[in-house]
Structures are given as structure tokens and as C-alpha cells.
């Protein structure tokens, strides 16, 4: 869940209005390993959500990236090795 609606941030300097408090959605998340009370105090990135990256070149790392990530950060000696790794067709 996002802390703020898409149009929550107004940025009207002349009126002194930064955001519409009615469009604030506190998270109040409680999970097994951590909890978050209140909203995340950041506006959304331009693309709407953070880009999910996975670093690694192992078979497990590439498989994880294929399932969950939008970008694979990896190191390869040559372009051909990189292409064979991430585009095995």
C-alpha cells in the first residue's frame, strides 16, 4: 500500500499547501520481522514505485531476478557472456 494517493502532493507554494491530508494513507504495518507506524515520509518516485533490482550472476540469482525484479545487476567479462546469461534463447 502506498502512503499517499497519486494526486496527494499539490505543491502550491503561493497557497502554502504541500499536500492534501485527506489523501494520506498511514501504513501501520505489523509483520514478523518489523513494523511501520504511520506514513512513509516520501513522495512517490516518478514511475510510481521503486525499481526492483537483483544483483548476482549465479543460477539462483538470475532465477530470483526473473521472478521478482525489473533489473538484473550483474558483471560479465564480455557482452556475449552477459547476453547468454540473461537471454538464454
Q: Is-contact 48 29, C-beta < 8 A?
A: no
16-to-20, 44, 51 alpha-carbon distances in Å? 11, 20, 31
Q: Using one digit for the tens of pLDDT, what is the confidence trace for 54-87?
A: 988 788 888 888 899 988 888 888 988 878 877 6
72 strand-pairing partners: 54
**pTM for the full predicted model:** 0.47
pLDDT in tens, 3-22: 888 888 888 999 999 889 89
Amino acid at each position: 500500500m502506498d502512503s499517499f494517493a497519486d494526486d496527494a502532493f499539490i505543491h502550491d507554494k503561493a497557497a502554502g499547501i504541500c499536500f492534501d491530508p485527506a489523501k494520506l494513507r498511514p501504513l501501520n504495518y505489523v509483520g514478523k520481522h518489523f513494523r511501520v507506524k504511520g506514513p512513509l515520509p516520501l513522495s512517490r518516485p516518478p514511475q510510481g514505485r521503486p525499481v526492483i533490482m537483483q544483483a548476482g550472476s549465479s543460477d539462483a540469482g538470475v532465477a530470483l531476478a526473473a521472478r521478482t525484479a525489473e533489473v538484473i545487476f550483474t558483471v560479465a567479462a564480455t557482452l556475449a557472456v552477459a547476453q547468454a546469461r540473461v537471454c538464454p534463447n
